[in-house]
Structure 1
């Protein structure tokens, strides 16, 4: 189960096992993607959330976003190899840095390097923003649109939110230091970002932080880091009560609707569709009805959603039929409405050598 049973006798988390096997997102038995969502602020009713006192939080002076949109508003096929970010037909070389993880905002790409430093890359500049040495899960979270990105400053035990349009840190939310050997319910971790709401895991469980109001609310007390899979347009995709399916709802306590799936879910920006991993390849379902609407990918033995580009289209990783997992894979562009997937980039790379804009380190080292 993904909720705390009692306040005592907490199981200890094997971080080495998580790094080695638990949270790597690209693998045949299920890809765990952490794409956050759109600009709508999540709404949680008073009965479903409790307010944490503002004296637990500190932040710099708020800076208004600089303009209404950036140079990278369009979401398209994006991935990185080494020091190069591939953005559609464009390439951005951030050498001498090498990307360990990255996400996209409307104003550029925020990435981490092997040393845990956080940078913002635009078409012609690379600027350092901070640091994170979080050894598990999502290192960076950003929405499907908007200027915000969030990460955990592990040295300061503080969650950071940065506005890439204003070029300023807009929130710094300090947490009590983690114990030396934290249990799975005590971990500090970044989970998702939806519009102007960040989702984190703390000792309280899964919490949301409203950037505009500077308020933190408990979404699910006693939940583990695995409980929340994605958030889009105020809708949560999360583990079901029995951990055997995915519940998609605005209400964090609702029992439905549910779709098949186990370890992850990736919502379309409007939360109409959800990609999960009920079988060897991923499937896309209509969230409200559970109807399977997965587009056909002829010639591929395995596909997995790595990035929604709009409410109907997504980019998928595809292993050609006959290829082994250590051979190069392709990237496909898929449309739910047209029910088809077509190759967008051939022989992009092999597992462990390619990063996708999901905020996790997918490398082998």
Structure 2
């Protein structure tokens, strides 16, 4: 290459400038690419998460879902039953497919008998299952003060057996025919019954007298050899509620409360029926119903057992009450009959009341929950509603 050609090429190269760089455009292109990568990553992550969630949900079985909260049966609430439903405060416990005849509340649920048979069942809001194994006809149900045990008398061929059943454990603690053998000299007016389950003792009213059964040792002690099965009405906090005179058949003329049954007592109360509060501080009494309804609708009278003093209980609008249960030592529930209930052939509504031994008043808890009417049964006529007292409300056919 000649020096002239070389100089010419060099001069032209120096005069030529590179094209200018558009930095804003380059940055914009880079941002768009980065955003595209982020969106793709987020979308992919979301799809993976959704797939994992769907897979997890398909693997969860219904049985593994959290169970509904248990009903607090250790509480005592205003309670009644109609048909196949037990109304326990705001909760409704079904006894379907069975219609309920009589029931009591335990700490594990409601123990009930059905209208068409002698079998015993437990309803706890989750299921209804048969308990007990005896084949006989069942008498009234009696529940312990702490709500763990239920007792009844089972009628078998030639004898009756007294039964104490532990609901929580699902087993019988006692089954005995003690005192229940029938004979030609047995008074058929008042049959065997479980008087009470109080602390470590169960009290059996039998044809041969009243027995106190020690639930820990299995030993029985005679409380009154010549007492009728109904002579002692109940026992609460080791205090006995019993009839006066003590040794007579039937219902007596009045009732008394003492540590040991005796005609020689300090305080005697009017009436033939009575209900002690859990600590036996208070007593409600009622006369027998002339219409042969049990438990009797009556103007309940309230007494303080330590002094024997009557406390005036007011329940305006409800001249007669049917006792239901003690909720605490200071409150109880009762069914209030309206004035129209005294008139024959009326479907008078009944109200559920809650009463206080402190305010000495009753307030309506559930108005018009049923009617004061009776339907025919083999043993008599019963109301369409039941209370947690272990027996139906019935009227004898006389």
1:298-346 deviations in whole A, cap 9, x for unaligned?
A: 2222123211101000001112344446411101111111122110011
Helix, strand or coil at the partner of 1:300: coil
Ranges of 4+ aligned residues in structure 1 off by more than 4 Å: none
CA distance in 2, matches of 1:87, 1:190: 25
Partner residue, 1:133? 137
2:285 pairs with 1:276 = yes
2:388 pairs with 1:357 = yes
TM-score (norm. length: structure 1)? 0.74
CA distance in 1, matches of 2:170, 2:312: 39
Partner residue, 1:310? 328
2:286, 2:299 within 8 Å by CA — same for their partners in 1? yes
Partner residue, 2:199? 195
2:196, 2:202 within 8 Å by CA — same for their partners in 1? yes
CA distance in 1, matches of 2:86, 2:243: 32
CA distance in 2, matches of 1:281, 1:143: 27
Partner residue, 1:212? 216
Larger Cα-atom Rg? 2
Q: Which runs of 5+ in 2 are unaligned?
A: 1-70, 247-251, 289-297, 373-382
TM-score (norm. length: structure 2)? 0.68
CA distance in 1, matches of 2:231, 2:301: 20
Helix, strand or coil at the partner of 2:100: coil
CA distance in 1, matches of 2:88, 2:312: 25
Task: Specify whether residues 185 and 346 from structure 1 end up closer, same or farther in structure 2 by C-alpha distance, changes over 3 A only.
Answer: closer
Partner residue, 1:7? none
Count of residues in correspondence between the two structures: 294
Partner residue, 1:347? 368
Partner residue, 1:256? 265
2:190, 2:230 within 8 Å by CA — same for their partners in 1? no
1:257, 1:287 within 8 Å by CA — same for their partners in 2? no
Match of 1:118 among 117, 120, 124: 120
Instruction: Give 1:363 shift.
Output: 4.8
Instruction: Give 1:285 shift.
Output: 0.7
2:166 pairs with 1:163 = yes
2:96 pairs with 1:95 = yes
1:190-231 deviations in whole A, cap 9, x for unaligned?
A: 222223322212232111212112111111111112211121
- Larger helix proportion, structure 1 or 2? 2
1:30-69 deviations in whole A, cap 9, x for unaligned?
A: xxxxxxxxxxxxxxxxxxxxxxxxxxxxxxxxxxxxxxxx
2:355, 2:361 within 8 Å by CA — same for their partners in 1? yes
1:72, 1:108 within 8 Å by CA — same for their partners in 2? yes
Partner residue, 1:298? 316
CA distance in 2, matches of 1:248, 1:343: 30
Match of 2:275 among 263, 266, 277: 266
Instruction: Give 1:254 shift.
Output: 5.5
Instruction: Give 1:244 shift.
Output: 2.4
1:101, 1:359 within 8 Å by CA — same for their partners in 2? yes
Q: Which runs of 5+ in 1 are unaligned?
A: 1-69
CA RMSD of aligned residues (A): 2.5
Of structures 1 and 2, the one scoring higher in RCO (CA 8 A, sep 6+) is 1
